[in-house]
Amino acid sequence: MTATANSRRLKIGLLLAVVGAGVWAWPQIRLSRTLAAARQALEDRDYPQALAALQRAEQLDSTRGETAFLMSRTYRHLGQFEELQQWMARARVLGYQPRRIELEELLLLAQNGRMKEAAPQLPRLLTEFSETDGAEICEAYVSGFFANYNFAEGLRLAEVWQQDYPRDPQPYFSLGLYEAHAGSDKKAVDAFRRALELAPRRDDIRRYLAEALVDEEQYDEAERHVRELLRRNPNDTDMATALGHCLLEKGDVAAARQQLEQVLQKDPQGYAPRMMMAQIELKDQQPAAAIDWLEPLVRERPKEYRLRFLYATALQQSGRGDEAGEHLEFVGRAQAALGRARNLMDQAKEDPNDIPSRLEIGQTLLKYDSPDDGASWLRNVLELDPQNTEAHRSLADYYTAKQDEQRAVYHQRQAEAAAPPASGNPGAGSPGAGASEAGPAPSKAG
């Protein structure tokens, strides 16, 4: 065999070896790239995109522990806790890092507001995982502090979060949500604007910014964001209603009417578009037509004082002022009680253990305007004082109204168990009475 032939065979052999190595390496390269895309999507808070990338990674290699771990983290952010537990268990079976699995379990506790268990671990977590998971830790714990209305701790941690991760939009987004909840619409707008500057593709941030701008009566800028959101999702009836609101406030009643009529074709029972149509009728000097829209809404949501005020206005303009009195009286009581509740919120913000203020805030919000927010405050009372009779009774009433019999019965039994013994019946208030039939623990019952 000639030297030339030997050389040719050597080259062919080397080429085949390289190709063979490439064939072996290509799936690993694809897996590495796919996991990198998933991590980036998680960092960008694009959880559907992260989930799609992780599903592709699982198809490429179902034995990779990191894939299972990132799946559990993604499902935590999506609030799908059954799937989270399944993937976390799989990560354990595949031998993924136990310390990071423990971290994820603590982040789940924090995110769910179980801060008695989670909060003592925060300093250790920030020390041990700041390089790899610092932003995740801050996000879950800020959310947990806010969920427990421990605003002072939440705001302090959010400030650290901003300083340590200046390009992360999420601390600004979280602060915007806090300010909006606290009624500081201007501060909410500023925070949401900054978050959107850092993440211009985040529709969730743009949406909250648009809503805050409407509350601040900055309708031109709000309309621009609303139209951008509708361009991306034409079937978003909430934003379509917001567009009608902007048009109405800018004085274009005819365009607002046309817009809301289109929304109601898609969502004929929507609360917000029906209420907006009532406002359009009032603006168009048609109070009788406004009443037709408002009467069923008042029956559906009798505790919403803004709705009752709108109804009273329509009644007065229709010459039915005698019927408006009870609604205006309710509005007056609601405004006085909610004004006191706002002052109590300032006290609660400074003192995370102020149970009486939290209890009154919760009961006030249950009675006027925002029952779901009221229930959240009452659940926070039970985090601090699990045997608080008044909180259990109020939550029992709340869940009864929502036709959630299991939780209503649970809180009623807890209230009876925590109540002082009746005279002549020492055993009536014994701790834990009926607890075995109560179902979920307090942190889950709410």
**Taking the chain, what is the end-to-end CA distance rounded to the nearest angstrom?**
85
Task: Compute the Cα dihedral for 375, 378, 384, 388 and give only its sign.
Answer: negative
Residue 398 is which amino acid?
Y
Quote the pLDDT of residue 16: 52
Q: Flag whether pLDDT at 445 surpasses 60.
A: no
Quote the pLDDT of residue 446: 37
pLDDT band of 17, cuts 50, 70, 90: low
Q: Flag whether pLDDT at 5 surpasses 90.
A: no
Cα Rg for the chain, rounded, in angstroms? 28
pLDDT band of 182, cuts 50, 70, 90: confident
**What is the CATH superfamily name and number for domain 341-419+434-445?**
Tetratricopeptide repeat domain (1.25.40.10)
What is the rounded distance in angstroms from the CA atom of residue 334 to the CA atom of residue 274? 23
Please compute, for residue 392, the number of CA atoms within 13 A of its CA located in the half-sphere on the CB side. Answer: 21
Compare 350 and 356 and report the one with higher pLDDT: 356
pLDDT band of 386, cuts 50, 70, 90: very high
What is the rounded distance in angstroms from the CA atom of residue 56 to the CA atom of residue 335? 54
Q: What is the largest CA-CA distance in the chain?
A: 115
Map residue 49 onto helix, strand or coil: helix
For residue 243, give Cα distances in angstroms to 109, 188, 218, 227, 273: 38, 20, 13, 7, 11
Residue pLDDT, tens place only, 128-179: 999 999 999 999 999 999 988 888 899 999 999 999 999 999 999 999 999 9
CB atoms within 10 A of CB 82: 7
For residue 425, which phi and psi values (nearest 5 degrees)?
-140, 75
Residue pLDDT, tens place only, 193-251: 999 999 999 999 999 999 999 999 999 999 999 999 999 999 999 999 999 999 999 99
pLDDT band of 27, cuts 50, 70, 90: confident
Lowest mean pLDDT among 75-84, 164-173, 376-385: 376-385
Residue pLDDT, tens place only, 267-285: 999 999 999 999 999 999 9
Q: List the structure tokens of 313.
A: 């206005």
215-221: long-range contacts, CB 8 A cutoff, minimum separation 24: 215/180, 215/185, 215/188, 216/185, 216/186, 216/189, 217/249, 218/189, 219/246, 219/249, 219/250, 220/250
Quote the pLDDT of residue 226: 98
Q: Flag whether pLDDT at 408 surpasses 80.
A: yes
Q: What is the mean pLDDT of the chain?
A: 88
Q: Flag whether pLDDT at 388 surpasses 80.
A: yes
DSSP category for residue 425: B
Task: Compute the Cα dihedral for 315, 318, 321, 323 and give only its sign.
Answer: negative
Quote the pTM value: 0.81
Quote the pLDDT of residue 360: 95
Contact between 104 and 124 under an 8 Å Cβ cutoff? The reply is no
Residue pLDDT, tens place only, 281-301: 999 999 999 999 999 999 999
**Closest-CA residue to 115 (of 382, 414, 351, 317):** 382
**Closest-CA residue to 381 (of 356, 399, 404, 364):** 356
322-327: long-range contacts, CB 8 A cutoff, minimum separation 24: 327/298
Please classify residue 232 by burial: count the beta carbons closer than 10 Å to its beta carbon, then call 0-12 exposed, 13-18 middle and 19+ buried.
Answer: exposed
Q: Flag whether pLDDT at 391 surpasses 80.
A: yes
Domain ranges in the chain? 341-419+434-445
What is the rounded distance in angstroms from the CA atom of residue 383 to the CA atom of residue 394? 15
CB atoms within 10 A of CB 83: 16
Residue 94 is which amino acid?
L
